[in-house]
Amino acid sequence: MMAPGMRVLVVGGTEFVSLALVRALLRDGHAVSVLNRGRRNDRLPPNVGVLVTDRKDHARLRAVLAGVRFDAVYDVIYAPTTGEDVSALADAVEAGGPHVLFVSTGRVYDHALPIPYSETTPRGYYWGEYARHKIAGEDTLLARHRTGALSVTIVRPTHLLGPLNTRNNETFFFDRILQGRPVLVPGDGRWLRQFGHVEDLADALAAMLGDSRALGQAYNVTGEECVTQVGLVELIAEVLDRPVELRHFDPALLKRFDKPGPVFGQNLVYDCHAVYTTAKLRTELGIRPRYTLASGLRQTWDWYRKEGLDQRPVDFSFEDQLLALLPR
């Protein structure tokens, strides 16, 4: 269904998800430009056009995009990005009538409801301002889709893994297991987590480009496996082929510290399940991930060592303080 050779704008383009997307779009033969603040454009592949501005400067955004036309626009970055920021981008590109693909999040769903979460699960503000901003972005674009002003697709990824991850999750555990340190586990470590690989997300985003079946739709995009917090650590230890010691702790202990440090990845501690169905993506668009959780972790582990991250200094001082409070 994908139309080759389209003119595509990626808002972002140099970080984790957006850089993987740029590479996928170039692979598929599209003419790609990026719009960002110009801080990491040395990462970009050759032949990528660059528009430099801060998307939150709405007047400057309009000026930079005036007279420029794209067949598709990917809104990827979160700065944090409000509904007003998404609306300003839509205003600036609307004249060309592009297909706008908005990278939202699975956290728009009300996670107080039973799992798994599908695209029909009620949205809500369980995740606070982050969810509020993403819902506002979705709503402003879908309203324009309903009026015919824009063609819109909403994509809702979950936790992501892969090289250049901006979240210190899988690498957090690599650091500790590699050095033979215990891994602190909040509570009994039973909460379910679901991960997708960044390249699978980029491939899905690229495959939706210009696909009439995806217009006006929202899709969960993630891996097809879920795992407990403990299961994730055990799988990572298996990938690294190293033993791991799990030390469970009461999360209430963190309240003793004025500024507690990370203890279980960057954002994997929360007390609820996070499980999503990808049936709609598979049945409607035929899109499935290439990576399993294990193969994605292996690929990231290879990258971690190749980049020399196994030699980086890591501050374990907060964990040592917490470990000192735990009985042996």
Q: What is the CA radius of gyration of the chain?
A: 21
Same domain, 45 and 180: no
Same domain, 214 and 238: no
Same domain, 120 and 237: no
Q: What is the pTM of this model?
A: 0.96
**How does pLDDT run across 117-166, given as a tens digit for each residue?**
999 999 999 999 999 999 999 999 999 999 999 999 999 999 999 999 99
Tens-digit pLDDT string for the chain (328 aa): 446 699 999 999 999 999 999 999 999 999 999 999 998 899 999 999 999 999 999 999 999 999 999 999 999 989 899 999 999 999 999 988 999 999 999 999 999 999 999 999 999 999 999 999 999 999 999 999 999 999 999 999 999 999 999 999 999 999 999 999 999 999 999 999 999 999 999 999 999 999 999 999 999 999 999 999 999 999 999 999 999 999 999 999 999 999 999 999 999 999 999 999 999 999 999 999 999 999 999 999 999 999 999 999 999 999 999 999 998 7
Q: How far apart are CA 232 and CA 10, in angstroms?
A: 32
Same domain, 52 and 109: yes
Q: What is the CATH number of the domain that holds 94?
A: 3.40.50.720
Same domain, 236 and 269: yes
First to last CA, the chain: 59
Closest CA to 185 of 244, 111, 116: 244
Same domain, 76 and 142: yes
Q: Are strands 226-228 and 192-197 parallel, antiparallel or unpaired?
A: antiparallel
The answer to whether 221 touches 155, Cβ cutoff 8 Å, is yes
Domains of the chain: total: 2
Q: Is 62 left (phi over 0), alpha (psi -120 to 50) or beta?
A: alpha
Question: Which stretch of DSSP H or E encloses residue 150?
Answer: none
- SS3 state at 287: coil
54 lies in which domain range? 7-161+195-221
Q: What is the CATH number of the domain that holds 181?
A: 3.90.25.10
β-sheet with 192-197: strand ranges across: 159-161, 192-197, 226-228
pLDDT at 1: 47
Q: How far apart are CA 163 and CA 171, in angstroms?
A: 10
Closest CA to 1 of 200, 210, 177, 203: 210
The one-character DSSP state at 109 is: B
Same domain, 189 and 61: no
The answer to whether 223 touches 194, Cβ cutoff 8 Å, is yes
Closest CA to 49 of 25, 78, 28: 25
| In a domain? residue 282 | no
